[in-house]
């Protein structure tokens, strides 16, 4: 016998402002049952409205539905609370409907209205506000009893007691609960993600999100895994040579203090260094790309002095770069971890052509790649597109021109965006590295692209490559510095809001994280909690911190290897209250 499906209660409510953790919050989560017939319109019921339309509401979330059967579970879980219909913020409390049995796109008639199933609910912190409990959001998600949304196919009136009549079962669809599984748990299930994007009734924001998940999961499968470091901890090095490359760029040749041969590294990897800077209480840790192919006797770092050229007092001098340029003398000591990073290239590859795109000092990892390709003596076609302001910023000019002249497979083009004087030469271009320039120089888009440079340049180049139809897994970007291009983790507008307490246990500090895309490292710095860092982009692993309780999500895929219970605060944001060993 088919179980009866019906409406138990119709619940509505208008936004109100309430106090929560010392802040005024506008919310429409407070709903109350109404008797009689209520008109359901395309965006909501009469007498009902959402407060924050950036994450709530819209045609695909016109009415939130929650099963009355779930209330028995919550009464056992929360025995001291009175749970009236609508307390979860639902518009329709139902009987006989749940996310595991319903499919995306299933259509029903209720009263004189016609509706279709669209997606599950992903709650925000306001659920905790409604219940007056910090743990409610976590408990709700863990329960799996989330409810779902209807969109309105035809407006009409609905009342408690109305039957829910199935009009049409969606064809080639999936259960609503599958969205939750792929979003929250099985993010790398390529087969499941591909099935989901083929569901015709899936809302567009979810389809876009899952398409990006497919690209990320596919790229992750093909991505080189982080190598085990050649040594653990920091190793002492001596500065053997300091070579000036331009007005504010110098190269530093480092040799191991013990004189032992250095292990090889992959072109494009970086070195994390630790410096004893006079006047600074704690050691300063930074990461710099290795700017040469692997040598057995030394490492080369090419470093730009931050804030030196203009003399602008608003440009803060870089603590580490100033130490390298002004204080570290030949014979001076620093410490370094083993080379690391996965922004690398296989120089043994023979047939896949490659384009290296560098801007300013972002050329350093690409130098190692180009030198490695040239040294491999393979016929692989390789382009270097190098963007700088003018000839004063054009570093390594002699070395680059020599490589291009002596290797027929290497093509060099240097772009001056603001030349100080008339320039000539077949390799010199005036302007920026953009889509028009790439189409003019390259015969097609069938290359692997490696991009590293200032944030604005990286952002524009990656957008241009996307517009040109270059597959995501063919575009590789170096993720260094707080302002570099990050792989944006976009989700549907139902993504949980921010507003969680973070406790730094060893420092005895508790602070509220409330800027949704600001990583935990920035929160720590704002409250004078000392966490070492290097790259600030999840690559070097310097900031690794033990997670004592709670959980996080990442602004982009971490590159540094992690053990169980460890996080990278430089790219991590909370999804619930946290406790960190910091």
Tens of pLDDT, residues 294-349 = 888 999 999 998 864 444 444 445 788 889 999 999 999 999 988 888 788 888 77
Is residue 278 a part of any domain in this protein?
yes
Per-residue confidence (pLDDT) for residue 222, from 0 to 100 = 47
Q: Kindly state the average pLDDT of the residues 65-88.
A: 95
Is residue 344 a part of any domain in this protein?
no
Is residue 307 a part of any domain in this protein?
yes
Per-residue confidence (pLDDT) for residue 140, from 0 to 100 = 87
| DSSP-based three-state secondary structure for 164 | strand
Instruction: Assess whether 240 and 211 both reside in one domain.
Output: no
196 within 8 A of 210, measured Cβ to Cβ? yes
Is residue 345 a part of any domain in this protein?
no
Instruction: Assess whether 549 and 422 both reside in one domain.
Output: no
Instruction: Assess whether 86 and 38 both reside in one domain.
Output: yes
Instruction: Assess whether 15 and 130 both reside in one domain.
Output: yes
Q: Does 481 have pLDDT greater than 60?
A: no
Count of domains for the chain:
4
Per-residue pLDDT band at 494 (split at 50, 70, 90): very low
Of 220, 244, 268, the last residue of a domain is: 220
Instruction: Assess whether 289 and 318 both reside in one domain.
Output: yes
Instruction: Assess whether 27 and 155 both reside in one domain.
Output: yes
Per-residue confidence (pLDDT) for residue 45, from 0 to 100 = 95
Per-residue confidence (pLDDT) for residue 85, from 0 to 100 = 97
Is residue 83 a part of any domain in this protein?
yes
Q: Kindly state the average pLDDT of the residues 456-470.
A: 88
Per-residue confidence (pLDDT) for residue 307, from 0 to 100 = 66
Instruction: Assess whether 252 and 358 both reside in one domain.
Output: no
List the end-to-end C-alpha distance of the chain, in Å, as a whole number.
Answer: 58
Q: Looking at per-residue confidence, does 562 or 513 come out higher?
A: 513
CA-CA-CA-CA torsion sign (178, 180, 183, 186): negative
Instruction: Assess whether 148 and 251 both reside in one domain.
Output: no
Of 305, 336, 367, the last residue of a domain is: 336
Tens of pLDDT, residues 359-380 = 988 899 999 999 999 888 878 8
Per-residue confidence (pLDDT) for residue 46, from 0 to 100 = 95
Q: What is the spatial distance between Cα 191 and Cα 108, in angstroms, rounded to a whole number?
A: 29
Q: Kindly state the average pLDDT of the residues 118-135.
A: 86
Is residue 52 a part of any domain in this protein?
yes
Beta bridge partners of 168: 107
Q: What is the spatial distance between Cα 250 and Cα 264, in angstroms, rounded to a whole number?
A: 23
Per-residue pLDDT band at 424 (split at 50, 70, 90): low
What domain range is 157 assigned to?
6-220
Q: What is the spatial distance between Cα 562 and Cα 551, in angstroms, rounded to a whole number?
A: 14
Task: Say which residues have a Cβ less than 8 Å from residue 443's Cβ, sequence separation at least 6.
Answer: none
Q: Does 87 have pLDDT greater than 70?
A: yes
Q: What is the spatial distance between Cα 366 and Cα 477, in angstroms, rounded to a whole number?
A: 11
Instruction: Assess whether 188 and 279 both reside in one domain.
Output: no
Instruction: Assess whether 166 and 262 both reside in one domain.
Output: no
Whether the model pTM is above 0.75? no
Q: What is the spatial distance between Cα 241 and Cα 218, in angstroms, rounded to a whole number?
A: 43
CATH number of the domain to which 432 belongs? 3.40.50.80
Lowest mean pLDDT among 181-185, 254-258, 489-493, 496-500: 489-493
Query: Strands, E, within 68-203: which ranges?
Result: 92-95, 107-110, 113-120, 148-154, 156-158, 164-168
CATH number of the domain to which 303 belongs? 2.40.30.10
| Mean pLDDT of the chain, nearest integer | 85
Per-residue confidence (pLDDT) for residue 274, from 0 to 100 = 87
* H or E segment and range at residue 19: strand 16-20
Is residue 534 a part of any domain in this protein?
yes
Is residue 348 a part of any domain in this protein?
no
Q: What is the spatial distance between Cα 72 and Cα 8, in angstroms, rounded to a whole number?
A: 14
Lowest mean pLDDT among 193-202, 298-307, 479-488: 479-488
Per-residue confidence (pLDDT) for residue 340, from 0 to 100 = 83
Of 477, 512, 536, the last residue of a domain is: 477
Q: Looking at per-residue confidence, does 74 or 227 come out higher?
A: 74
CATH number of the domain to which 159 belongs? 2.40.33.20
* β-strands 354-359, 333-336 pairing: unpaired
Instruction: Assess whether 318 and 373 both reside in one domain.
Output: no
pLDDT > 90: percent of the chain: 43
pLDDT > 70: percent of the chain: 89
Cα–Cα separations (whole angstroms), residue 316 to 113, 124, 331, 416, 487: 62, 39, 28, 25, 27
CATH number of the domain to which 572 belongs? 3.10.20.30
Report the helix count and the strand count for the chain, using DSSP H and E.
Answer: 12, 31
* β-strands 382-388, 354-359 pairing: parallel
Per-residue confidence (pLDDT) for residue 54, from 0 to 100 = 59
Per-residue confidence (pLDDT) for residue 223, from 0 to 100 = 47
Q: Kindly state the average pLDDT of the residues 237-242.
A: 96
Per-residue confidence (pLDDT) for residue 560, from 0 to 100 = 67
Maximum distance among all Cα pairs of the chain, rounded to whole angstroms: 87
Per-residue confidence (pLDDT) for residue 498, from 0 to 100 = 60
Instruction: Assess whether 59 and 115 both reside in one domain.
Output: yes
């Amino acid at each position: 016998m088919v179980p009866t499906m019906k409406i138990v209660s119709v619940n509505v409510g208008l936004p109100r402002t309430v106090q929560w953790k010392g802040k005024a919050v506008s919310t429409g989560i407070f709903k109350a049952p109404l008797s009689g017939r209520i008109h359901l319109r395309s965006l909501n019921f009469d007498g009902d409205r959402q407060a924050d339309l950036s994450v709530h509401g819209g045609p695909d979330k016109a009415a939130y539905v929650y099963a009355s059967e779930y209330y028995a579970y919550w009464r056992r879980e929360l025995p001291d609370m009175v749970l009236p219909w609508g307390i979860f913020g639902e518009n329709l409390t139902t009987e006989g409907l749940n996310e595991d049995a319903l499919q995306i796109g299933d259509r029903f008639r209720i009263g004189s209205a016609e509706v279709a199933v669209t997606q599950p609910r992903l709650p925000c912190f306001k659920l905790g506000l409604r219940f007056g409990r910090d743990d409610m959001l976590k408990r709700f998600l863990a329960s799996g009893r989330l409810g779902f949304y209807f969109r309105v196919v035809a407006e009409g009136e609905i009342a408690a007691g109305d039957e829910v009549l199935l009009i049409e079962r969606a064809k080639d669809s999936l259960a609503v609960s599958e969205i939750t599984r792929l979003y929250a748990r099985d993010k790398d299930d390529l087969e499941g993600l591909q099935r989901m994007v083929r569901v015709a009734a899936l809302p567009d924001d979810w389809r876009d999100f899952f398409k990006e998940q497919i690209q990320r999961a596919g790229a992750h499968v093909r991505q080189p895994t982080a190598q085990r470091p050649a040594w653990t901890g920091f190793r002492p090095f001596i500065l053997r040579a300091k070579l000036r490359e331009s007005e504010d760029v110098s190269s530093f040749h480092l040799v191991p203090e013990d004189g032992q041969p250095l292990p090889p590294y992959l072109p494009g990897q970086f070195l994390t260094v630790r410096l004893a800077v006079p006047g600074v209480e704690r050691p300063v840790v930074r990461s710099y790309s290795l700017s040469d192919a692997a040598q057995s006797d030394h490492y080369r770092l090419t470093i730009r002095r931050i804030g030196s050229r203009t003399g602008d007092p608003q440009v803060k001098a870089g603590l580490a770069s100033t130490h390298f340029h002004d204080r570290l003398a030949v014979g001076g000591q620093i410490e370094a971890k083993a080379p690391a990073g996965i922004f690398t290239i296989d120089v043994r590859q023979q047939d896949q052509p490659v384009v290296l795109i560098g801007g300013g000092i972002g050329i350093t990892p690409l130098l190692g790649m180009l030198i490695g390709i040239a040294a491999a003596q393979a016929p692989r076609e390789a382009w270097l597109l190098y963007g700088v302001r003018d000839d004063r910023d054009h570093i390594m000019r002699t070395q680059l021109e020599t490589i291009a002249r002596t290797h027929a497979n290497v093509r060099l083009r240097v772009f001056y965006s603001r030349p100080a004087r008339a320039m000539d030469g077949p390799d010199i271009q005036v302007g920026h590295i953009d889509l028009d320039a790439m189409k003019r120089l390259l015969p097609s888009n069938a290359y692997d692209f490696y991009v590293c440079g200032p944030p604005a340049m990286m952002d524009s180049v990656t957008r241009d490559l996307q517009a040109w139809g270059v597959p995501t897994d063919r575009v590789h970007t170096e993720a260094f510095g707080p302002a570099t291009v990050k792989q944006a983790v976009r989700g549907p507008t139902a993504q949980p809001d921010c507003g969680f307490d973070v406790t730094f246990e060893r420092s005895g500090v508790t602070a509220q994280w409330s800027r949704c895309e600001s990583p935990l490292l920035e929160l720590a710095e704002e409250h004078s909690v000392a966490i070492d860092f290097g790259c600030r982009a999840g690559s070097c692993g310097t900031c690794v911190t033990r997670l004592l309780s709670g959980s996080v999500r990442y602004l982009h895929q971490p590159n540094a290897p992690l053990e169980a219970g460890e996080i990278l605060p430089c790219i991590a944001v909370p999804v619930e209250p946290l406790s960190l060993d910091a």
